[in-house]
């Protein structure tokens, strides 16, 4: 969030991904604290936290292909099949893990805390 305090000349994809990440994290905070993961808020929390993490991993893959010489050689423009395959694998992995987490997540009872 502090990165938005720096001056910039035009809106970049990093600004958009950062704003989306902050938005879904705000939803996760609402689900976790005011609504205490009750009812549908449990799934909302899991989904929004996973989406925020996905955005971070998405950026990690983009930066890896920009900065790691071996990966940059495979996809110099960032739109070649190896880059797209890596992003697709990450997306599918996050969808599967989020579905698994949603199914398995149990809210601890008040007595256990």
Q: Which pLDDT score is estimated for 105?
A: 85
CA–CA separation, 50 vs 98, rounded Å? 6
Q: In degrees rounded to 5, what are phi and psi of residue 86?
A: -60, -45
Q: Which pLDDT score is estimated for 108?
A: 65
How confident is the model over 28-36, as a mean pLDDT? 96
Q: Which pLDDT score is estimated for 7?
A: 82
Q: In degrees rounded to 5, what are phi and psi of residue 96?
A: -65, -45
The answer to whether the CB of 65 falls within 8 A of the CB of 78 is yes
In this structure, is residue 94 part of a structural domain?
yes
In this structure, is residue 111 part of a structural domain?
no
CA–CA separation, 87 vs 78, rounded Å? 11
- Domain membership of residue 41 as a residue range: 14-104
CA–CA separation, 13 vs 96, rounded Å? 26
In this structure, is residue 8 part of a structural domain?
no
In this structure, is residue 45 part of a structural domain?
yes
In this structure, is residue 18 part of a structural domain?
yes
In this structure, is residue 74 part of a structural domain?
yes
The answer to whether the CB of 86 falls within 8 A of the CB of 46 is no
In this structure, is residue 9 part of a structural domain?
no
What does DSSP assign to residue 109?
P
Q: pLDDT, tens digit, for every residue of 43-86?
A: 999 999 999 999 999 999 999 999 999 999 999 999 999 999 99
What mean pLDDT is reported for the chain? 91
Domain count of the chain? 1
Asked if the model's pLDDT at residue 111 lies above 60, the reply is no
Cα 95 → chain centroid: 11
In this structure, is residue 110 part of a structural domain?
no
Asked if the model's pLDDT at residue 112 lies above 60, the reply is no
């Amino acid at each position: 969030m502090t990165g938005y305090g720096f001056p910039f000349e035009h809106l970049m994809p990093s600004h958009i991904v950062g704003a989306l990440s902050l938005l879904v994290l705000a939803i996760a905070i609402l689900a976790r604290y005011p609504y205490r993961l009750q009812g549908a808020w449990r799934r909302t929390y899991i989904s929004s936290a996973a989406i925020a993490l996905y955005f971070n991993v998405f950026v990690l893959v983009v930066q890896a292909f920009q900065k790691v010489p071996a990966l940059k050689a495979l996809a110099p423009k960032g739109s070649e099949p190896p880059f797209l395959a890596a992003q697709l694998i990450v997306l599918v992995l996050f969808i599967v893990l989020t579905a698994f987490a949603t199914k398995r997540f149990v809210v601890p009872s008040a007595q256990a805390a």
